[in-house]
């Protein structure tokens, strides 16, 4: 039997490219043309490559020709990135990994991009880096918002002294355990569920897809996710009187929480990211930055769903804080809340833009925010300065310096316990992936953004609760 013996390199030499088409062509040759003359076959395969439309009725080569035409159409419909990235501001560049810089470079080549900035807690993520801020013209990027839509910080300050807290820590720990629930997929059932006006929002009925998420939202209302989400008691110190908040200089008990829109937000993010990728064909390196036109039905749908998820995340914090405030009986002096993993319509450089803050805190002039450290490092209550080059943003925390996998492999339980003890922190739950050593030094991060925010008060964690297994959201 005469074997044609044509290999991949032979097809590459006549113009084929690495990929599915090459593999399919080799399969066709092996299955149907084993006994054909080699030179005749190479000439035939070259003809198919150059004029696939001529082979659409061919008994053997029809499927290969069809696939070639489909791929050519896909390439033609792909959105072309700019050859050079627009310039963007970087804060704390010495402590930001190269992967985050590369991701931001890619985002700055999108045709809809008008501005960008990288915060000092930045590290590599999916699509936009964590700590990335991107302003676009009339387009919203689901993965530029992120999976945990509307993830936020909420801080309640009470008229309870540090001394009273220290003397009654066992009570505060008991109530923290009683009124919080953590972990991917976890929720409440029956009479233990909480009620909130957000569940009556009309947006839950806008599509069948959103409608079917309502029961999950109901069960998870007032709960927190896994990963780096937490609810913690701590002491907040105002070094001087703060008139806007009407809080005198001193130390106070405070409750700080961090979590987002739970399973509902994650499901919305996944659905609209897939839809964006179908509608917006970007080159492979930018595929996770697929965007939706704000004038399209899909863009409007996502915008409404994103805002619903953000308001739901806020409702979760409200339920938690109300439960614990009632349990301890303290007078609420002030409450501050801010969110990240979101997109806002804002005016920047004189034009309306969509500002994506994926792990970045809004820091417009006079805007209050909370920037946490780690379970042992202090967090900070801040007031934004409205820095235009940062697109009115700041960091959303200390930022990871070690991946979750690296943290689990390199940090021991004993090391984690030692740093908790040294900082007088009681920890409930959490895995080694959330160990304090996995995070950047918050003092370095704050120093890198002095032009972005003013520090109003310092928060020191004392009793921290996180997911028992360090799980991520479902």
Tokens of 222: 């007032």
User: For 406, phi and psi rounded to 5 degrees?
Assistant: -65, -40
Q: How confident is the model at residue 402 (pLDDT cuts 50, 70, 90)?
A: confident
Based on the residue annotation, tell me whether 396 is a catalytic residue of this protein.
yes
pLDDT in tens, 218-236: 999 999 988 899 999 999 9
Most confident of 37-51, 175-189, 291-305: 291-305
pLDDT digits (tens, 9 = 90+) for 435-455: 999 999 999 999 999 999 999
Q: What is the pLDDT of residue 57?
A: 86
Question: Do residues 249 and 326 share a domain?
Answer: yes
Average pLDDT of span 250-277: 96
Domain shared by 402 and 306, yes or no = yes
Into how many domains does the chain fold?
2
Q: Is the pLDDT of residue 2 over 60?
A: no
Q: Are residues 193 and 316 located together in one domain of the fold? A: yes
Among 123, 258, 339, 396, the one annotated catalytic: 396
User: Do the domain assignments include residue 380?
Assistant: yes
Is residue 136 over pLDDT 60? yes
Of the candidate ranges 29-38, 207-216, 240-249, 301-310, the one whose mean pLDDT is the lowest: 29-38
268 band by pLDDT with thresholds 50, 70 and 90? very high
What number is the average pLDDT over the span 291-295? 97
Mean pLDDT within 271-278: 94
| 3-state SS class at 230 | strand
Whether residue 221 is found in the same domain as residue 368: yes
- Do 305 and 434 lie in a common domain? yes
For the ranges 63-77, 170-184, 249-263, 279-293, the lowest mean pLDDT is seen at 63-77
Dmax (CA) for the chain in angstroms is 95
pLDDT reading at 73 higher than 70: no
Do residues 278 and 403 share a domain? yes
Which residue in 453, 427, 426, 425 sits closest to 121, CA to CA? 453
pLDDT in tens, 138-181: 999 999 999 999 999 999 999 999 999 999 999 999 999 999 99
Nearest Cα residue to 359 out of 108, 123, 89:
123
Tell me whether residue 92 is in a domain: no
Last residue of a domain, one of 34, 49, 77: 77
Note whether 306 and 149 are within 8 A (CB). Answer: yes
Q: Is the pLDDT of residue 474 over 60?
A: no
Does one domain contain both 186 and 311? Answer: yes
Task: Work out the percent of the chain whose per-residue pLDDT is above 90.
Answer: 80
- Residue at 315 is within a domain: yes
| Beta strand 139-140 pairing with 230-238 | unpaired
Whether 329 contacts 222, CB under 8 Å: no
Say if residue 1's pLDDT is above 80. no
**How far is residue 7 CA from its own chain's centroid?**
44
Given a cut of 90, whether residue 403 has pLDDT beyond it is no
Residue (of 354, 387, 376, 392) closest to 427 by Cα position: 376
Sign of the CA dihedral with 109 first, then 113, 118, and 121 last: negative
**What's the token pair of residue 284?**
């492979």
| CATH of residue 329 | 3.90.1860.10
- Decide which of 35, 55, 77 is a domain's last residue: 77
Give the per-residue pLDDT at 184: 74
In a domain, 26, yes or no: yes
Decide if 399 is inside a domain.
Answer: yes
Instruction: Scan for tokens 């998820």, then name that residue.
Output: 309
Domain that holds residue 71: 8-77
DSSP-derived letter for residue 371 is: E
Dihedral sign for Cα atoms in the order 110, 113, 116, 121: negative
Could you give the CA distance from residue 360 to residue 412 in angstroms, rounded to a whole number? 30
Better-predicted residue by pLDDT, 72 or 210: 210
15-24, 255-264, 371-380, 389-398: the lowest-pLDDT one = 15-24
pLDDT of 74 reads 65
Q: Are strands 342-348 and 351-358 parallel, antiparallel or unpaired?
A: antiparallel
Q: What is the pLDDT of residue 388?
A: 97
Mean pLDDT, the chain, rounded, equals 93
Cβ-based burial of 381 (10 A; exposed 0-12, middle 13-18, buried ≥19): buried
Tell whether 460 and 381 lie within a shared domain.
Answer: yes
Backbone angles phi, psi at 71, to 5 degrees: -65, -40
Assigned domain for 108 exists: no
Same domain flag for 52 and 149: no
How do residues 197-214 score in pLDDT, each as one tens digit?
A: 999 999 999 999 999 999
Structural domain ending residue among the three candidates 77, 106, 122: 77
Helices vs strands, H then E, count in the chain: 15, 17
Same domain, 340 and 434: yes
Looking at the structure, tell me whether residues 60 and 176 fall in a common domain: no
Q: What is the pLDDT of residue 207?
A: 95
More confident residue, 186 or 339: 339
DSSP character at residue 309: H
pTM equals 0.83
Is residue 50 located within the same domain as residue 156? no
Does some domain include residue 88? no
Angle at 277 between CA 274 and CA 278, to 5 degrees: 90
- Residue 135 in domain: no
Strand partners, 116: 134
CB 342 within 8 A of CB 145: yes
Mean pLDDT of 177-193: 86
Q: What HEC string does 414-440 produce?
A: HHHHHHHHHCCCEEECCCHHHCHHHEC
């Amino acid at each position: 039997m005469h074997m044609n013996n044509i290999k991949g390199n032979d097809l590459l030499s006549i113009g084929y490219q690495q990929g599915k088409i090459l593999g399919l062509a080799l399969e066709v040759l092996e299955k149907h043309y084993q006994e054909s003359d080699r030179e005749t076959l190479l000439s035939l395969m070259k003809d198919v490559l150059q004029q696939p439309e001529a082979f659409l009725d061919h008994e053997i080569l029809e499927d290969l020709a069809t696939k070639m035409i489909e791929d050519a159409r896909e390439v033609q419909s792909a959105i072309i990135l700019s050859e050079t990235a627009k310039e963007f501001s970087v804060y704390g560049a010495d402590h930001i990994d190269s992967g985050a810089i590369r991701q931001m470079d890619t985002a700055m080549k999108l045709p809809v991009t008008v501005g960008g900035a990288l915060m000092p807690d930045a590290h590599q993520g999916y699509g936009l880096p964590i700590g990335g801020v991107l302003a676009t013209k009339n387009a919203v990027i689901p993965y530029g918002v992120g999976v945990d839509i509307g993830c936020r910080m909420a801080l309640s300050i009470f008229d309870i002294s540090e001394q009273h807290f220290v003397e009654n820590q066992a009570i505060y720990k008991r109530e923290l355990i009683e009124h919080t629930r953590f972990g991917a997929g976890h929720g409440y059932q029956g009479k233990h569920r909480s009620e909130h006006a957000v569940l009556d929002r009309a947006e839950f009925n806008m599509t069948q897809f959103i409608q079917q998420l309502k029961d999950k939202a109901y069960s998870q209302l007032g709960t927190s996710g896994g990963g780096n989400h937490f609810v913690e008691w701590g002491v907040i110190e105002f070094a001087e009187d703060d008139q806007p908040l009407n809080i005198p200089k001193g130390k106070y008990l405070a409750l700080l929480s961090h979590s987002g829109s739970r399973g509902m937000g994650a499901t919305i993010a996944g659905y609209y990211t897939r839809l964006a990728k179908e509608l917006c064909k970007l080159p492979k390196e930018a595929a996770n930055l697929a965007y939706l036109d704000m004038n399209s039905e899909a863009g409007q749908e996502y915008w409404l769903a994103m805002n619903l998820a953000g308001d739901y995340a806020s409702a979760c914090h409200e339920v938690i804080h109300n439960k614990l405030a009632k349990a301890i009986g303290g007078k609420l002096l002030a409450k501050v809340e801010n969110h990240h993993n979101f997109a806002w319509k804002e005016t920047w450089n004189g034009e309306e833009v969509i500002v994506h803050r994926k792990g970045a805190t809004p820091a417009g002039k006079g805007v209050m925010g909370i920037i946490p450290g780690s379970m042992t490092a202090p967090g900070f209550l801040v007031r934004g300065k409205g820095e235009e080059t940062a697109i009115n943003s700041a960091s959303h925390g200390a930022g990871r310096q070690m991946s979750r996998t690296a943290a689990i492999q390199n940090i021991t339980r004993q090391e984690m316990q030692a740093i908790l003890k040294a900082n007088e922190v009681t920890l409930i739950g959490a895995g080694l992936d959330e160990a304090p050593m996995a995070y950047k030094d918050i003092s370095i991060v704050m120093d890198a953004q002095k032009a972005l925010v003013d520090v109003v008060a310092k928060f020191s964690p004392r009793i921290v609760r996180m997911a028992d297994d360090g799980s991520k959201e479902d």
